[in-house]
Amino acid sequence: MDVLTLNGVTKYYGSICALNNVSFSVPEGSVFGILGPNGSGKTTMLGIVMNIIKASSGSFVLLGKPGTENMRRHIGTLLETPNFYHYLSAEKNLRIAAEIKGKGIDQIDDVLHKVNLYNRKDSKFSSYSLGMKQRLAIASALLGNPDVLVFDEPTNGLDPVGIAEIRELIKRLSEDGKTIIMASHMLDEVEKVCTHVAILKMSNLITAGKVDEVLVNEDIVEVGATNMQALEQALQSLTGYSSLKKQKDVIQLFFATGGSNLEKVNAHCFANNVVLNHLQLKKKSLETKFLELTNK
């Protein structure tokens, strides 16, 4: 089951296109990353899903129903920098948030435990680190026990310790059965915590799918021979690689990480009467893959 489906969502601000005909689905129980450089349309997309921004065209279905203001009440959100009263304690700030939502008063202690802030519930918000403030904002989003959580750049501005804390919290929430949709411009963040990803560039959707399929590490085996035509023909009967790419002086074979075997490639070519004069293994990093996708 999909908790969210976008169908051709487009948004213009005057003559500027912020989102261009974007369509994808978010599976239930996934941690879905919306990945892209700053200005690619991530925040606009989340704003449309939360009915804060109205799309110029297209539609979306949330929890099986067309998106409405009422549907937003079933979603926990963190769309901006945490906004709490600095002179009040964490518990009192959450009490105000629960009263505004009209639900969750009896869940304050529980959500504070979930974000590992219960021992600091009586401390003023002003005494919190940036990571603690962000975790309190997530605690506020959890009030009412929503099934879907939407986070916009949840680790933005945090130090390495704060980033690690938020990542672990997101993993725990996912294990509790929450569906999490999060925007990020950080490839490393998406690769480490997300199960699915949609990649945006300049308002356009480049690709979407499972993280281990979209952002896959690959082994690249480069081969060369005096007779490149005979080499290419010999490689047609070699198994194990996913794709082949011809360069000027070499042919690149792409294997899943750890799936390449230089000895097998060499033996296969020799058995087909081709003697290699070049055989080299290279690794394609996630960063390289991301840059390739966004530079299409």
222 has a pLDDT exceeding 70: yes
Instruction: Give the CA distances from residue 261 to residues 121, 200, 240, 256, 277, in Å, rounded to whole numbers and listed in that order.
Output: 56, 35, 9, 11, 17
Q: Where are the domains of the chain?
A: 2-214, 218-294
Helical spans, DSSP H, in 144-227:
160-175, 187-193, 211-214
66 has a pLDDT exceeding 90: no
- Using alpha carbons, select from 84, 63, 80 the residue that is nearest to residue 72: 63
**Average pLDDT over the chain, rounded to an integer:** 89
pLDDT bin (cut points 50, 70, 90) of residue 292 is: low
CA separation for the pair 162, 156 (Å, rounded)? 10
For the residues 181-196, what does the mean pLDDT come to?
90
Instruction: Give the CA distances from residue 162 to residues 2, 47, 111, 165, in Å, rounded to whole numbers and listed in that order.
Output: 31, 25, 18, 5
CATH fold label, 218-294? Alpha-Beta Plaits (3.30.70)
Quote the percentage of the chain above a pLDDT of 70. 93
pLDDT bin (cut points 50, 70, 90) of residue 126 is: very high
Interval 244-290: pLDDT, tens: 988 888 999 988 777 889 999 999 999 999 999 999 988 666 666 67
Q: 2-214 belongs to which CATH class?
A: alpha beta
pTM: 0.77
Tokens standing for residue 289? 């893959």
Tokens standing for residue 213? 């399929």
176 has a pLDDT exceeding 70: yes
CA separation for the pair 55, 270 (Å, rounded)? 59
